[in-house]
Chain A
Amino acid sequence: MKIRVKINGVTREDDVEPRLLLVHYLRELAGLTGTHIGCETSICGACTVLMNGAAVKSCTVLAVQADGSEITTIEGLSGRNGQLHPLQQGFWEEHGLQCGYCTPGMILAAHQLLSRNPHPSRAEIRKALEGNLCRCTGYQHIVKAVEWAAEKVRAQAEHA
């Protein structure tokens, strides 16, 4: 089946098998390996990407379902000149990652949170990340990373 998907601002057209999972499409056809696979039962969230701005688990979406959509992966989050997104910066500043495997999904889930709620409380951050498992950090530094980014985004908005 022919599909057309805009990934990180670049439009691609591919002929895919209907059963191809979006995550495999992104990783193996588009070559964007920053999106990871962790559980295959839409529990762990490692494969989270933004589809038309909303966080989805790309292991539970068919590539054909994404036909006509816009996808943002972790590779598309940095600015044009390679500048880190405040969430990426926050994860670095606050030690929000260890092995890094859950990190892209975690960052994109947090991205959705901040777009819906720029002033999240710690409880709201934890709730927003309930679809993302991390086995390394115990989550606390992730919560701090998201707080750091929220602060930064607010400051940037005030500055603009």
Chain B
Amino acid sequence: MIPEPFEYHSPQSLEEALRLVTEFGEEGKMMAGGHSLLPMMKLRLASPRHVIDLGRLSELRYIRESDGWIEIGALTTHFQIESSSLLREKCPLLPETAREIGDAQVRNLGTLGGSLAHADPAADWPAAILALDAEIRANSAGGERWIAAQDFFVGLMTTALAPGEILTAVRLPPLPRRAGDTYLKLRQPASGFAVVGVGVRLALNEAAHIERVAIGVTGIGPKAYRAAAVERELLGKPPTARRLAEAAARAADGVQTNSDLFASAEYRKHLASVYVRRALELALERANP
């Protein structure tokens, strides 16, 4: 399959990219690694007149730490995250998630920012970003703003990014003391996307009660979401096995659940609760070394 013809633009700076994005509006499509956009274009499900390739903006390819916060440039590839020793130490959930994306070749080119902006309902990053209470930076001609992960995913393949905005970075708050996190996933055997993917970060207080818990779930509904009902059940409570299981049963509460050839809505709901419980158990184990 072959894409329809388009004009190609390769801005050399963020400023230039923002100008092009504004200029082409609806007719332009941004491309980072190309691993979300190009398959759609080859199947002719997307046929933009202008492709704005952000791939050369090396200024957006970094992982750095300041004041305990970690900031990752939007063009950082899945593999760079997977192999980052900084992240392995400070935020293992991210490399763990990266490892589960696609395959080795896809991880070499696919980017964090590209995946988040595409907002595929079965992508892995959204669950991780939600679990980490991350913030997402959007730049536009008018300046920049930070969007909380919770507010970023609006609906099926739609985000809070406004026309003319470019996703440029993601930042993560520091890992609390006595915290543990993990990402667990059941892969759809053909595509490798998540039938269910669960990111969990959990922190205990001095009494070993759950002080903080954030659960991001992907693959289940039209967009990734925080399993708020589960979190509410757990906050401030001692994490007994029974409590985790009971809370996890509410993993898909209120979610309009996907159904496809591999898993019905009902089964997906069940998988969400099993994977949320298992992720909670693992995160707890890591918080209690």
Chain A: minimal CB distance from B82 (Å): 10
Q: In the bound complex, how far is the Cα of B109 from the Cα of A62, in angstroms?
A: 12
State the majority secondary structure of interface residues on A. mixed
Chain B: minimal CB distance from A24 (Å): 8
Known: A18-B6, A41-B42, A56-B109. A112 touches B35 (CB 8 A): no
Instruction: Assess the B53–A65 pair: CB atoms within 8 A.
Output: yes
Instruction: Assess the A19–B5 pair: CB atoms within 8 A.
Output: yes
The number of chain B residues with a CB under 8 A from chain A is 31
Query: Does residue B176 face the partner (Cβ distance < 8 Å to A)?
Result: no
**Which of B39-75 touch A at CB < 8 Å?**
39, 41-43, 51, 53, 55
Chain B: minimal CB distance from A59 (Å): 8
B4: chain A residues at CB < 8 Å are: 19
Among B98-106, B151-159, B207-215, B242-250, the stretch that binds chain A is: B98-106
B24: chain A residues at CB < 8 Å are: none
Interface string of A40-69 (1 = CB under 8 A from B): 111101001001001111011110110100
Instruction: Assess the B2–A21 pair: CB atoms within 8 A.
Output: yes
Query: Nearest residue in A to B102 (C-beta to C-beta)?
Result: A131
Q: In the bound complex, how far is the Cα of B46 from the Cα of A19, in angstroms?
A: 13
A109: chain B residues at CB < 8 Å are: 104-105
Instruction: Assess the A17–B5 pair: CB atoms within 8 A.
Output: yes
Interface string of B260-282 (1 = CB under 8 A from A): 00000000000000000000000
Q: In the bound complex, how far is the Cα of B79 from the Cα of A40, in angstroms?
A: 22
Quick one: which of A19, A40, A51 contacts B6, CB cutoff 8 A? A19
Instruction: Assess the B104–A130 pair: CB atoms within 8 A.
Output: yes
Query: Does residue B205 face the partner (Cβ distance < 8 Å to A)?
Result: no
Quick one: which of A40, A61, A64 contacts B10, CB cutoff 8 A? A64
Known: A1-B8, A18-B6, A54-B108. A60 touches B38 (CB 8 A): yes
Quick one: which of B42, B55, B106 contacts A40, CB cutoff 8 A? B42
Chain B: minimal CB distance from A105 (Å): 9
Known: A19-B3, A43-B191. A61 touches B104 (CB 8 A): no
Chain A: minimal CB distance from B86 (Å): 18
Quick one: which of B6, B7, B43, B79 contacts A54, CB cutoff 8 A? B79
Q: In the bound complex, how far is the Cα of B2 from the Cα of A21, in angstroms?
A: 8
Query: Does residue B114 face the partner (Cβ distance < 8 Å to A)?
Result: no
Instruction: Assess the B106–A131 pair: CB atoms within 8 A.
Output: yes
Q: In the bound complex, how far is the Cα of B288 from the Cα of A158, in angstroms?
A: 43
A45: chain B residues at CB < 8 Å are: 103, 105
A64: chain B residues at CB < 8 Å are: 8, 10, 53
Q: In the bound complex, how far is the Cα of B163 from the Cα of A119, in angstroms?
A: 48
Instruction: Assess the A55–B105 pair: CB atoms within 8 A.
Output: yes
Instruction: Assess the B39–A56 pair: CB atoms within 8 A.
Output: no
Query: Does residue A113 face the partner (Cβ distance < 8 Å to B)?
Result: yes
Chain B: minimal CB distance from A104 (Å): 13
Query: Does residue A128 face the partner (Cβ distance < 8 Å to B)?
Result: yes
Using a CB–CB distance below 8 Å, which chain A residues touch chain B?
Answer: 1, 17-19, 21, 40-43, 45, 48, 51, 54-57, 59-62, 64-65, 67, 109, 112-113, 116, 128, 130-132
Top 4 closest pairs, chain A to chain B, by CB: A131-B103, A18-B8, A54-B108, A19-B3
Using a CB–CB distance below 8 Å, which chain B residues touch chain A?
Answer: 1-8, 10, 34-35, 38-39, 41-43, 51, 53, 55, 79, 83, 102-106, 108-109, 190-192
